[in-house]
Structure 1
Amino acid sequence: MLNRKLRKRKDQAVFGGVCAGLAEYFNWDPTNVRLFYILLSVLSAAFPGLLVYLLLWLFMPER
């Protein structure tokens, strides 16, 4: 059983550490997660990705 927890990474943070935390959780490269998140936010209507990022930034615990 995996004991993973979704947490922000302040040591690899560009803004809030959310994308670095997501990358660590899924074992992906943080740069690719950031690029994907930016593309998803820009290409979606009304930028809901910014709201999701803000909510994750506020409610994700720090590592």
Structure 2
Amino acid sequence: MNLVRPRRGRVFAGVCAAIANRYQWNPTTVRVLTVLSLLIPGPQLIFYIILWILIPKEA
């Protein structure tokens, strides 16, 4: 399965849903881990925005 941002099942930009679909994980788990990682100082938000730009939308 390719890494693409889905049209359905996304909450904000679809980055977490894309990662969850690619690795067959639960999307809620990926979203919770993403939010928890934002509580730790670091470049997570910049990384998320970069993924938002780089991961293509589902056709």
Question: Structure 1 length as normaliser, TM-score?
Answer: 0.82
Q: Report which of the two has the higher share of helix.
A: 1
Q: How many residue pairs were aligned?
A: 58
Identity of counterpart residues, as a percentage?
34
Structure with higher RCO (Cα < 8 A, 6+ apart): 2
CA-atom RMSD, angstroms? 1.1
Larger Rg computed on CA atoms:
1
Question: Structure 2 length as normaliser, TM-score?
Answer: 0.87
Unaligned runs of 5+ in 2: none
Unaligned runs of 5+ in 1: none
Give 4+ residue runs of structure 1 displaced > 6 Å after superposition: none
